[in-house]
Amino acid sequence: MTGRFTNRIAVIAGGGAGIGRRFAHRFAGEGASVVIADLDIGAAKRVVAELAADGARGLACAADVADVEAVSAMASAAVAEFGGIDILVNCAAIHLDHAQLPFDLESVPKWRQVMDVNVVGTLACSAACRPAMAARGGGSIVNMSSMAAYGASGAYGVSKLAVNSLTVSLAAAYSADGIRVNGIAPGLVDSESAVEWANDPSRSGAADIQEQLVAGQMIKRPGRMDDLANLCLFLSSAEAGFITGQTILVDGGYTKKPY
Which residues, 6+ apart, have CB-to-CB distance to 173 below 8 Å? none
- Please identify which of the residues 156, 174, 254, 259 carries the catalytic annotation: 156
What is the per-residue DSSP string for 14-48? TTTSHHHHHHHHHHHHTT-EEEEEES-HHHHHHHH
Instruction: List, in sequence order, the alpha helices (H) in 137-240.
Output: 154-174, 192-198, 209-216, 225-235
Q: Which residues, including other chains, have CB under 8 Å from residue 118's CB and lie 6 or more apart?
A: 93, 94, 95, 99, 156, 159, 160, 162, 163
Q: What is the DSSP letter of 117?
A: I
3-class SS shares of the chain: helix, strand, coil, % to 5: 55, 15, 30
Taking Cα atoms as reference points, which of 162, 158, 147 lies closest to residue 256?
147
CA distance 70 to 62: 8
- Among the listed residues 1, 117, 107, 114, the one whose alpha carbon sits nearest the alpha carbon of residue 54: 1
Is 156 known to be catalytic? yes
Q: What are the residue numbers of the active site?
A: 156
